[in-house]
A and B are shown apart, each in its own frame.
Chain A
């Protein structure tokens, strides 16, 4: 086995273009997998942990550019994410505990493609884009289009995720992050939801809702958003939004929870969101 530690993006792209390789960042998913006897150890590993250019958070006007190698601890402490992405900070705080937050990265959460990835509902709700690089150039893909199925992404073998482009939360916008797990720390979500909305004159003028652990991939709850858009928040809307959300999610029963529980809680969370922002 060979581990490369590139110091430039060009170098990393060249390795990825020339051989089949696995990209390693903080190791919080891959080290578990590789030591579990489930997965074969890769022949070639590209270790990006020390690539400082991927570990920056930059203000790019409308969006924050969050380097793929940024850890949850960086996201929790950075003034830019605190000011412009409070829902992402809330999500980061619920991921694992200190040890995992110090090592786990946002790029890893995206590429690992778990439907339970806790940062993903925030990214979907806020129309985030994934920046992807390779020798062939740079492209961006909406997070919503990044997943093609359970644990499947549009990434080609020679590509790597370099950053997440996250639109800033507007000043008149409110957002909430909800994670339902067995305990506050170290839990893999049963249901995880992020929602944002703009209220104008008592009406919902804009809304975005992302839900995780309820389908093969993270989902954008478009039908529920459609029910809410342009409406005033009252009991009737809460009931309609709850019912739509319960039908919109496609959960399964597994070791962590049941289909019924997940449907019910998804409905409850959207109702909670509406009551909290009214």
Chain B
């Protein structure tokens, strides 16, 4: 039995210990915002945040998240209101086909949680594990940069 908190809510799961977190999220719990790309840790589409750390959920066996807090893309918006990062992705047209975006958002969130004022190079390094098959990287980096700027302005 595995107990996890996903986006603030407790879940108790009875499943194969080596089941991939990705499959449990999508198929058992219906969190289909997290996408499967390569399934081997190369593309970052399935990125989620576990206890503050960015990981590929396709490489996480469910037995290793017992007692952990998981944040998926569904947990970014609050009361139906998009987060600042999400708003910037919309505003800057960072989304083309969209399959990489949940992972990109989680990678950007993990970066901004640990570094409130990253340089453009630090942003690029932070999303180096996330592939965009539309190659829309410039607008994605622009959107993250805009979120950084907006956040600093608010402060």
What residues of chain A have their CB less than 8 Å away from a CB belonging to chain B?
1, 3, 5, 24, 26-28, 31-32, 34-36, 41, 45, 47, 49-50, 73, 96-100, 102-103, 184-186
What are 23 A-B pairs at a CB distance below 8 A? A3-B18, A3-B61, A26-B59, A31-B20, A31-B59, A32-B59, A36-B40, A47-B61, A73-B53, A96-B129, A97-B129, A97-B130, A98-B54, A99-B41, A99-B44, A99-B56, A99-B59, A99-B129, A103-B56, A103-B59, A185-B128, A185-B129, A186-B128
Most interface-central of B39, B41, B54, B107 (chain A CB within 10 A): B41
B42 and A34 form a contact (CB under 8 A): no
Q: Bound state CA distance, A154 and B47, in angstroms? A: 36
A99 and B54 form a contact (CB under 8 A): yes
Given contacts A27-B59, A45-B17, A47-B64, 4 further A-B contacts (CB under 8 A): A35-B40, A49-B64, A98-B129, A99-B56
Question: Chain B interface mostly helix, strand, loop or mixed?
Answer: mixed
Q: How far is the CB of A103 from chain B (nearest CB, A)?
A: 6
> Which residues on B sit within 8 Å (CB–CB) of A34?
18
Most interface-central of B16, B39, B53 (chain A CB within 10 A): B53
Provide the B23-53 mask, 1 if CB < 8 A to any CB of A, else 0.
Answer: 0000000000000000111101001000001
The 8 Å CB contact of B55, one of A1, A47, A102, is: A102
Task: Tell me the B76-91 residues at the A interface (CB within 8 Å).
Answer: none
B61 and A24 form a contact (CB under 8 A): yes
B41 and A102 form a contact (CB under 8 A): no
- Give the total of B residues in contact with A, Cβ under 8 Å: 27
Report if B146 contacts A (CB, 8 A): no
B59 and A45 form a contact (CB under 8 A): no
B63 and A99 form a contact (CB under 8 A): no
Report if B126 contacts A (CB, 8 A): yes
A98 and B107 form a contact (CB under 8 A): yes
The 8 Å CB contact of A100, one of B16, B39, B56, is: B56
Report if B110 contacts A (CB, 8 A): yes
Report if B6 contacts A (CB, 8 A): no
Q: Bound state CA distance, A103 and B63, in angstroms? A: 14
Smallest CB gap from B67: residue in A: A50
The 8 Å CB contact of A31, one of B17, B44, B58, B130, is: B58
Q: Bound state CA distance, A32 and B128, in angstroms? A: 20
Provide the B122-145 mask, 1 if CB < 8 A to any CB of A, else 0.
Answer: 000110111000000000000000
B55 and A103 form a contact (CB under 8 A): yes
A97 and B59 form a contact (CB under 8 A): no
Smallest CB gap from A24: residue in B: B61
Q: Bound state CA distance, A1 and B125, in angstroms? A: 39
> Which residues on A sit within 8 Å (CB–CB) of B126?
98
Smallest CB gap from B50: residue in A: A102
Report if B60 contacts A (CB, 8 A): yes
The 8 Å CB contact of B129, one of A3, A41, A45, A186, is: A186
B44 and A35 form a contact (CB under 8 A): no
